[in-house]
Structure 1
């Protein structure tokens, strides 16, 4: 208890506290030594806690009626000129019962809220582990959330505290396991009170868990060995990858349980990251990727970053697998979705060769450029569509032309990746000519550039007016089908969509 809390209790006429129907109050037990015989005590006893009720308004109705009644009891004392101290374990405005009184009374009577030590801080102190350090993000979660939501939030944060365990413990444990956080998770029961218990969460019997317990996933930075508190960056070359792979091959078996996770960052920055991908990037010891994509990932103490240009996919994949074979947790960073014209193919190709076939490899999906661009424009991919790369660096133009003919002939909307670059200047013009053999000149074409980035632009032109000089490597083209519509709305914005219904012949 704070000094101010003790002072307020000493000066109060009435001491109020919440409890379940058994009448025992943790808040009262904490303050017991400061209570006087002449204190008027108001025990605000909940009619229900977690059980069902026959109240006509259901569980919420029963509680609302109780809060109104409890507030009226306290208001009677206040109207009589008495000072009321409502005591609450932890902090009154942090998942505390007092907040329901505050909403009903604070605007009517002079009120002072005395902050308290939360169970979050108490649990960290008892574990002797920092909750968050440097730029780490601490997330506080109620265990009553659905399992999927818990899993997603645990996967995406640096550190976490899950409250309100008790009957929710099995769900919380599964969410910890599914998010990969179970090995880091600790359990704290009744921190700083009689009956305190601290253990690894994985070792806890669900039948023994009370409501007043929390799970803590503490700071990762705090567990780093001395001297590793900063992120290091190296420039990766083909020679680097070969040297690393050779060293790994000749030094025997791996030193730990490494893995490679191929992570899609979406088309731009953190807003496009999935929670699962965010968690994988935070948990990695090594990040491998094209420099531009690595720059989207926040620097984390202790991580090693291996940057390269965008033309060494196989070498990048081999470096990642070689690091994992030495026991490292490696994230290969890929733009958009890693399985669409990106790094997943390169990693899996190398992973199916000796000596990497035993290395675990996971691919995490990301928002691909086609979907991001389509969303900005409206819904041009609302019906069947094809995704084709116009780059002839890895396949001959004849194959590209054949696929464009086939997709256009089938009246599919088209998402065209890699349409042009400084060294490829004629492909867009050739594709336009080919598509005009199948599509009307006024077919909508969306030019989406730098989606999600600082230079984002989205324009819609007619197919016949598509200017190759306005297209570069950062542009994605979406070509409508014969059914695609473009319209201008009352606010001046233009939207493009492809109907899901097709006209009957």
Structure 2
């Protein structure tokens, strides 16, 4: 028997932004899996709540840590690798039994999504299908009514985990920028934006498309940024 793993993009947060295809395939699942931080409900699971069939077995994957261990720490790759190996093994056992597995991923699965690490492990031996989702950045710039690129503008997507010099260098290039993974990096990112001369045009978006959404000029942003937040720097600086 051969099952199939369908990795479903859940979109940026608003359940109405789920695709029809994701909803249809989710309704057919024998097993539904998702990632979550310990003690949290799991954002992708919350988005999908109304569409998970009552007959489906649910499988929750709790991260061993989220921001507690920096990426450069040798433990990070070791422990996260073991975590993804275990998750893939558990899904692989279900697929070997012929199950249809839905793996939920917030935003788009292949844009900083944890699901891609299971895809890497499962796809050599099992059938996988990817259903794209509206990305978090798309949800945020739409929520902020902020046109980002036009004509031949260049857009860069930057993880805030880069060091300040690298951030400032990237922000000095290109036209439009999306900065993700703020959290503890928020102050560093603002400093890099000032160095690159882009701070005044930057927009802070928190929980875009979700309840409690906040969209503000960066200069008016709160002192701390939660996980679901990002900074947008629009392009459109040339004639159009």
TM-score, structure 2 length as denominator?
0.88
Partners of 1:74 and 1:84 within 8 A in 2: yes
Structure 1 residue aligned with 2:63: 46
2:155 maps to 1:217: no
Alignment of 1:301 with 2:223, yes or no, is: no
Q: Is the 1:167–1:211 contact (alpha carbons within 8 Å) kept by the matching residues of 2?
A: no
Deviation string, structure 1 residues 250-282 (Cα, Å, up to 9, x no partner): xxxxxxxxxxxxxxxxxxxxxxxxxxxxxxxxx
Displacement of 1:50 after TM fit?
Answer: 1.7
| Residue of structure 1 aligned with 2:106, choices 89, 95, 99 | 89
Alpha-carbon displacement from aligned partner over 1:290-338 (angstroms, at most 9, x marks no partner): xxxxxxxxxx427xxxxxxxxxxxxxxxxxxxxxxxxxxxxxxxxxxxx
Look up the SS of the partner of 2:127 in the other structure: coil
CA-CA distance at 1:144 after TM superposition: 0.6
Indicate whether 1:104 and 2:121 are aligned. Answer: yes
Q: Any conservation in 2 of the 1:141–1:162 contact (CA below 8 Å)?
A: yes
Superposed, 1:363-402 pairs within 5 Å as: none
Counterparts of 1:88 and 1:109, CA distance in 2: 19
Higher relative contact order (CA 8 A, sep 6+): 2
User: Offset at 1:157?
Assistant: 1.5
1:206 offset after TM fit, Å?
A: 2.4
How far is the alpha carbon of 1:111 from its aligned partner? 1.0
1:112 and 1:134, CA in 2 relative to 1: closer, same or farther beyond 3 A? Answer: same
Q: How many Å apart are 1:197 and its aligned residue?
A: 0.7
Q: Which runs of 5+ in 1 are unaligned?
A: 222-299, 303-505
Please say if 1:202 is aligned against 2:219: yes
Q: Distance in 2 between matches of 1:185 and 1:114?
A: 31
User: Per-residue deviation at 1:57?
Assistant: 5.9
Give CA deviations for 1:334-376 in whole Å, capped at 9, x if unaligned: xxxxxxxxxxxxxxxxxxxxxxxxxxxxxxxxxxxxxxxxxxx
SS in 2 for 1:139: strand
Matches within 5 A, 1:169-184: 169-184=186-201
Q: Does structure 1 retain, via aligned residues, the 8 Å contact 2:182–2:226?
A: yes
2:43 equivalent in structure 1: 26
Match of 1:36 in 2: 53
| C-alpha contact (below 8 Å) 1:23/1:45 kept by paired residues | no
Q: 2:3 maps to which residue? A: none
Distance in structure 1 (CA, Å) of the matches to 2:62 and 2:150: 40
The answer to whether residue 4 in structure 2 is matched with residue 66 in structure 1 is no
For residues 150 and 179 of structure 1, what CA distance do their matches in structure 2 show? 9
Q: For the pair shown, which has the larger CA radius of gyration, 1 or 2?
A: 1
What is the CA deviation profile of residues 479-499 of structure 1, one whole-angstrom value per residue up to 9, with x for unaligned ones?
A: xxxxxxxxxxxxxxxxxxxxx
Preserved contact between residue 20 and residue 45 of structure 1 (Cα < 8 Å): yes
Q: Distance in 2 between matches of 1:50 and 1:124?
A: 25
Distance in 2 (CA, whole Å) between partners of 1:38 and 1:206 is 44
**1:15/1:39 contact within 8 Å kept:** yes
- Alpha-carbon RMSD across the aligned residues, in angstroms, is 1.6
Q: Residue 140 of structure 2: which of 84, 98, 123 is its match? A: 123
Q: Distance in 2 between matches of 1:196 and 1:127?
A: 10
For residues 191 and 57 of structure 1, what CA distance do their matches in structure 2 show? 33
SS in 1 for 2:50: helix
- Residue 92 of structure 2 corresponds to 75
Choose which of 129, 138, 145 in structure 1 pairs with 2:155: 138
Aligned 8 A contact 1:86 1:98 in 2: yes
The CA distance in 2 between the partners of 1:8 and 1:206, in whole Å, is 41
Consecutive unaligned residues of structure 2, counting only runs of 5 or more, are 1-17
Cα–Cα, structure 1 residues 2 and 155, in superposed 2: closer, same or farther, change >3 Å? same
